[in-house]
Structure 1
Amino acid sequence: MRRSGFGLTDFTPAQTEKAFENSAVNVFVLDGNNIIGCGRALSDGVSQAAVYNIAVDEAYHHQGLGKKVTALILEETADCNAVLYTHPDTVSWYEEQGFRRMKTGLALYHPDRISEWALSNRLNPRICRRIGRVLGFCAIKTDSFPAMDILVSTALGQ
């Protein structure tokens, strides 16, 4: 993943790795040995899921990969209501995917996490490589994306 294509986090690689390890569902899209997309969800596996960190390298935009990552996460959490947190610039894209704005949603943010810099910071490619090595995955080849592997790791139902 190129640094210019992502605004996932300002956390260290170890913190990002921990966030993915502690998620119920992780999806990574690979082109060869490069992670070019990802997403994750927290979930109780019964009624609620929160979707985070959907991202696709800019060089791979407009190929349906973001839709595929989102669909795989929603498939793994199909019995749950799903909420999604995203950048204001991408709200309309998620609305096109079926998400609706909430009228009653509230949030309590950690004071150290609120800054414009945090919203616009870019993910280091080493983070994704470390995540791929640490987590266990099952690889899925799809007809829609024959040259790419899509990896799904889920803790649900275990």
Structure 2
Amino acid sequence: MSDNISISFERDGVDWTRAAEIFEKAPLGTREPDTLRRTFENSDLNCFAWDGDALVGIARALSDGLVQSVIYDLCMLPEYQGKGLGTRMMQGMMERLNTANVVLWAVPGKEGFYARFGFRPMLTAMALVEDPARTASQGYIRL
């Protein structure tokens, strides 16, 4: 990781094929570049990490701007993980969301990272998902 890492909250210049590669390598699964682009366009907050001109991390959030927000898809290339970039992205997003309540989807095993920001496991969250068996096998839900 170079010293030239910057964080941006604008979609300008994002190569969505590259973003989809980051999503897959992180690993968060697979998304078609156009689907990923559309999910970010329909989100209230976007966050991108750049190493010079190279996109290396992405995240997004939905928010009502007053009470509730939810963070999705915080991910970066594996070689950038564990070096403080996720912390910078989370801090930037939390500052901009500025709501009393923030929920997020965490990759199983990454809960400790989010606990550092004050996040706690939810006891009553429920999910209706496209593929319950696959989602359960990934550790996100119980069947």
TM-score, length basis structure 2: 0.72
Which structure 2 segments of 5+ residues have no match? 1-20
For the 8 Å contact 1:37–1:56, the answer to whether it is kept is yes
1:17: how far off? Answer: 0.5
Name which structure has the greater RCO, CA cutoff 8 Å, separation 6+: 1
Residue identity opposite 1:58 in structure 2: P
For the 8 Å contact 1:10–1:118, the answer to whether it is kept is no
Moved more, 104-113 or 59-68: 104-113
Q: Tell me, in whole angstroms, the C-alpha distance in 1 between the residues paired with 2:22 and 2:104.
A: 24
Which structure 1 segments of 5+ residues have no match? 120-158
**After the TM superposition, which parts of structure 1 deviate over 6 Å for at least 4 consecutive aligned residues?**
116-119
Q: How does 1:70-149 map to 2 (within 5 A)?
A: 70-111=90-131, 114-115=134-135
Residue identity opposite 1:19 in structure 2: T
Query: Which residue of structure 1 lines up, in the alignment, with residue 4 of structure 2?
Result: none
Deviations for 1:114-134, whole angstroms, at most 9, x for unmatched residues?
447888xxxxxxxxxxxxxxx
Residue identity opposite 1:51 in structure 2: I
**Local SS of the residue matching 2:128:** coil
Aligned length: 119
1:38 lines up with 2:58 in the alignment: yes
TM-score, length basis structure 1: 0.65
Residue identity opposite 1:42 in structure 2: L
For the 8 Å contact 1:45–1:80, the answer to whether it is kept is no
RMSD, matched Cα: 2.5
Q: Kindly, what percent of the aligned residue pairs are identical?
A: 30
Deviations for 1:8-28, whole angstroms, at most 9, x for unmatched residues?
342211101100111100010
Residue identity opposite 2:98 in structure 1: A
1:24 lines up with 2:44 in the alignment: yes
